[in-house]
Chains A and B, each alone.
Chain A
Amino acid sequence: MFRNTLTDYPLAATAIALSLFGVAIVYSAGQTDIPTYVAPLWKSQLMWLCLGVLCAWGIGNSSVRLIEWVTWPAYLLTLLTLASLLVLGTGTGANGHMRSWLAIGGHRLGQPAELAKIIVVLMLAKVLAERREAPKSLLELWKPGLVVGVPFAMIMLQPDLGSAIVFVGIFFGMLFWSGVPWPLLVLLASPVVSLVLSFSTGLWGAWFLVLIALVLWYKPYLLEGIVLVVANVVTGVIAPILWEKLAPYQQNRLKVFLDPSADPRASGYHVLQSKIAIGSGGLLGNGFTLGTQKRSGFLPEQHTDFIFAVVGEELGFIGVALALALFLALLLRATRIASRANDSFGSLAAFGLMSCWLVHVVVNIGMTLNLMPITGIPLPFFSYGGSFMLASWLGVGVLLRISGEGRGHAGALLS
């Protein structure tokens, strides 16, 4: 059973390559004309990477069963931690209003949300794997919904919109992988779509017609159908009210997403400067550590949220394409591991981890070019942050383990 342990070299190599790339960029992010606290951070990032690799090696040498067995207590612990954050959490830096940091005695230990994502993936995998059949109706989704919904709500309360979006991505990704029919997924997502489209009556009307057609075609239970339609009407109507409830900085971020030049000196500043940095990089870039936007401090959060703009400015399109290719390789490898796992838990967990990273990559990188709203989601393996690096490598470890156990059965599964 353990004969292929830790032999998924492509996965390990891709993750190591991404991480070293990332540490190099964190180093570069610290190279500014007027040195800031960012300058020495690459060293601690390297330390966290080593720690992460060690953890991954440890997990890789355990077993999927052990991981599955640990899931329940870990999930409960996560919920407890998230709950305590709402009381004890502290903010940091630009996001000082968020209670996303776990601190004891004033010493910040990390952001539990990052680890929570991995645990929720495992928990969801466990719950979905218990079923013999994929859920066919919304009612059957109550249990997985609860698994994600509780931590989701707690993170929304911090409030950490970015991490919450990741939970949604994980949820839908894993439902898809478990075989939930796509019309059901669309119906599930419909209230959120209504919420977004409610700002344009015409668009919302069109969407509503599509929704009705879908309900008639898919024929969910009558009650479900009614609940869905009502939910769409309600979200469509309350959206403007909800908008008013958003904190001004959240409203601004969404507004700026629609038009970054509307407020170039304030909220739109980050996106604009990021776009300028990336665009000015050109094909080959300004050269490693030589990005002028970064050097003169125009790039905001250049070592965390906007780190990919440093890649764009200094290494140009070549560097960007390389990074994206590495991410694609990682995600494809994870998908392959999911499809070759020898049991449902492993398969779902692998696909969940893949979904989690995908959302991170798309939202974070998209944000640097204003293709996505600014939500403060870090980029796996790149963004500076201890708990995040650790969490990413825990994910790698889990994947390695699943890959190690599943590889031998892949042929059988696919034949």
Chain B
Amino acid sequence: MSVHPNDIARRSRVAKAGLAVVILSLMGAFFNAQVLQHDRYKLQSQENRLRALPLAAPRGIIYDRFGNIIAENLPGYAVSIAPVNSDSLKSSLEHLSSVISLSPDQIDAALRRYRRDPNRPTLIMSDASMSVVSVLEEHRINFPRLIIQSVPKRFYPDGPAVASFVGYTGEVTDADLNSPAYEGYKPGQLVGKGGIEKEYEKVLRGREGVRYDEVDARGRQVRQATPRLDLNPEPGPALHTNIDLDLQRYVAGVFGDSLVGGAIALDPRDGGVLALYSAPSYDVNKFTGGIPADYWKGLLADDRRPLVNKVTQGRYPPGSTFKLATAVTGLEDGLVTLDEHMPVPCTGGFQYGNRYFKCWDKKGHGSISLARAIEVSCDVYFYQLGLKIGLSRMIAGGISLGLRDKSGIDLPDEKRALWPYAVDYYNKTYGARGWSNAVTLNLSIGQGENSQTVVNMAKFYAALATDGKAPTPEIVKRAPVRTQIFKLDQQQMDGLRTALAGVIGQGTAQSARIQGIMLAGKTGTAQTGKRVNGVELNHAWFVGFAPADKPTIVVAVMLEYGGHGGRAAHVASSIIAHYLKVAPVTAVQSEG
């Protein structure tokens, strides 16, 4: 090699300068990262170590009107995992399956939740039993990223008795998460799935909190982070309902296991729902933490359709209970008075054109007044009243009485009552020549193109019980809304109520009499066309109120294929008697 001193000295200078440049550049790079960009990395290092653990907010407690608990929260356990990626989640779930039993559905659900929000600990079991939790705690060391959390769990002390209106909670579904209505919801969160749990979801849910745990790189919790970062969950505010839990239980008891149908009790003065029951019911507590598959299948397979709310979703021809709508329309138009007789007396039937329309009572009622016709539910009288009013006005009257509407009760998925929108309906449906004016006769007695919900009939009778103002039924106490649906003078109102009281006193529902209370109401026996062994199965209706002179409760009862309206009247009267704390009279006679 060349050892010329000058060469060595020159190369030495180059090398030293090069070294200095390289090392100083490195120093500069570190200065940039550590001093200039310090804040950014500091933040990242904190985020790195802190695992946000969502803390579920307890849902608002639901009370009845006297402060009794309808829905509350009990401590439960949720199992989730904070996976590194989907592969590690899969293998963790596999390992977990060997320790506790996880169904393929649970595994799929967990993977779906992870895909939706990989940054959130993935929920595996929303309501783990004590035994599962203790097994998991034993194997804790094998699952460093497993999180077992105490979470509030919904509990309904009265279970099946309140299912019809309270609903239940369940995990928010994928479809929900895709819809704008559920913006801000996270996979694994619980939402109201029916009843007021759903209707008041946004109120009841409260606000989820978050706890920051300091974890190591393997996800093992090291210690809880400084508390100031944490955000406590905000419990949902309590919900005060108009429900009278004692009455609600009583209604559930009256229906028992044998009756199928629905009942609602309203305070006619403000629309407060005192009780609402659809039979058969189901145990909402079984729905908490995921519905057991066989239980759910059983409910779906039951031909009594327990999942359909008979009060708000079932639509039934209202039968004779509807005659009051015909009467109110006639009275409002001044076409009839309560004392007026119709031209043709009832002889057990009425000839109209080439058809003979029967009265329910073959013996006939003779020539009677409107008041008496209501008491005995004379069909012939109402055929003629309907003809007098005319089809067009009949339909318009029904519409203005709200009998083509939803009641507006604060429950989700209420069905609208079915009623023609105008005469044109018949032209559209059957063609201009496909129908005759005979439909008027059917409509006037509550048959024909007419299907009402139990709640909507109760709302109409609440207007009859008061001053023609129909209150919007309210389960949760809000500002009562009462809408004038018809206007009659005081004498007419009193007359109608007296006639309705007569139904129980000396009419079709004498079996429903209550000692010391004047009960008013109307039975209905709606033809369904369904026959078993040659006997037609009818829906039994009763809608009424008490006390007749100053009503404080309206009750509508509908028994699906329940036979005679008298049976429904019997159920309704016992509900009213229980509410008014008096004993019903045990009576024998029943017809209507």
Contact = CB atoms under 8 A, between A and B. Distances in A.
B41 to A, nearest CB: 2
A176 B217 contact: no
Given A131-B1, A369-B30, A296 B11 contact: no
A367 to B, nearest CB: 11
Nearest to A338: B12
A414 B9 contact: yes
A393 to B, nearest CB: 21
B29 A369 contact: yes
B8 interface: yes
B8 A413 contact: yes
A34 interface: yes
A280 B29 contact: no
A344 B218 CA distance: 54
B29 A328 contact: no
B35 A280 contact: no
A145 B23 CA distance: 28
Contact of A279 (B3, B7, B44): B44
A178 B1 contact: yes
A369 B33 contact: yes
A272 to B, nearest CB: 8
Interface in B1-36: 1-3, 5, 7-9, 11-12, 15-16, 19-20, 22-23, 26-27, 29-31, 33-35
Contact of A312 (B1, B7, B30): B30
Interface string A302-324: 00000000001000110011001
A277 interface: yes
Instruction: Give the bracket for the number of chain A residues in contact with chain B.
Output: 35 or more
A317 B16 CA distance: 23
A58 interface: no
A34 B220 contact: yes
B34 A324 contact: no
Contact of B26 (A134, A177, A338, A366): A366
Given A297-B217, A335-B15, A324 B41 contact: no
Given A34-B220, A296-B214, A327-B23, A279 B37 contact: yes
B427 interface: no
A265 B84 contact: yes
Contact of B34 (A279, A292, A365): A279
Contacts of A276: 41, 44-45, 48
Interface string A352-363: 001000100110
A339 interface: yes
A415 to B, nearest CB: 7
Nearest to A179: B2
Contacts of B31: 317
A128 B2 CA distance: 10
Contacts of B20: 328, 332
A414 B2 CA distance: 14
A134 B216 CA distance: 56
B40 A279 contact: yes
A292 B7 CA distance: 50
B531 interface: no
Given A279-B33, A292-B45, A335-B16, A362 B22 contact: yes
Contact of B45 (A277, A344, A354): A277
B95 interface: no
Contacts of B139: none
B202 interface: no
B9 A339 contact: yes
Nearest to B223: A33
Contact of B19 (A176, A331, A371): A331
B1 to A, nearest CB: 4
B222 interface: yes
Contact of A371 (B29, B44, B84, B222): B29
Given A34-B220, A296-B216, A336-B12, A283 B1 contact: no
A361 B84 CA distance: 33
B11 A177 contact: yes
B49 interface: yes
B38 interface: yes
Contact of A348 (B1, B49, B222): B1
A224 to B, nearest CB: 21
Contacts of B224: none
B528 interface: no
B238 interface: no
Nearest to B15: A335
Contacts of B33: 275, 278-279, 312, 369
A161 interface: no
Nearest to A32: B216
Contacts of A176: 11, 15
Interface in B340-398: none
A288 interface: no
B35 A283 contact: yes
Contacts of A178: 1-2
A64 to B, nearest CB: 15
B242 to A, nearest CB: 54
A257 interface: no
A295 B217 CA distance: 9
B85 interface: yes
A131 B1 CA distance: 5
Contacts of B16: 332, 335-336
Contacts of B3: 344, 347, 413
B216 A344 contact: no
A22 interface: no
Contacts of B12: 335-336, 338-339
B84 to A, nearest CB: 6
Instruction: Choose among B3, B27, B34, B220 the residue with the greatest number of A CB atoms under 10 Å from its CB.
Output: B34
Contact of A415 (B5, B214, B215, B218): B5
Interface in A358-390: 358, 361-362, 365-366, 369, 371
A332 B214 CA distance: 44
B115 interface: no
A128 B27 CA distance: 34
B550 interface: no
B215 A296 contact: yes
B40 to A, nearest CB: 7
B41 A279 contact: yes
B140 interface: no
A71 B48 CA distance: 50
A293 interface: yes
B86 to A, nearest CB: 11
B30 A298 contact: no
B304 interface: no
Contacts of A133: 1-2
Contacts of B478: none
B42 interface: yes
Contacts of A324: 23, 26-27, 30
A281 interface: yes
A208 interface: no
A42 interface: no
A283 B23 contact: no
12 contacts: A134-B2, A178-B2, A275-B33, A276-B45, A279-B40, A279-B42, A279-B45, A295-B216, A320-B27, A328-B20, A338-B15, A351-B15
Question: 6 closest pairs, A vs B, by CB?
Answer: A279-B41, A339-B12, A280-B45, A297-B217, A296-B216, A179-B2
Given A347-B3, A413-B5, 14 more contacts: A131-B1, A132-B1, A279-B41, A280-B41, A280-B44, A282-B34, A283-B38, A293-B45, A312-B30, A331-B19, A339-B9, A351-B15, A358-B22, A413-B8
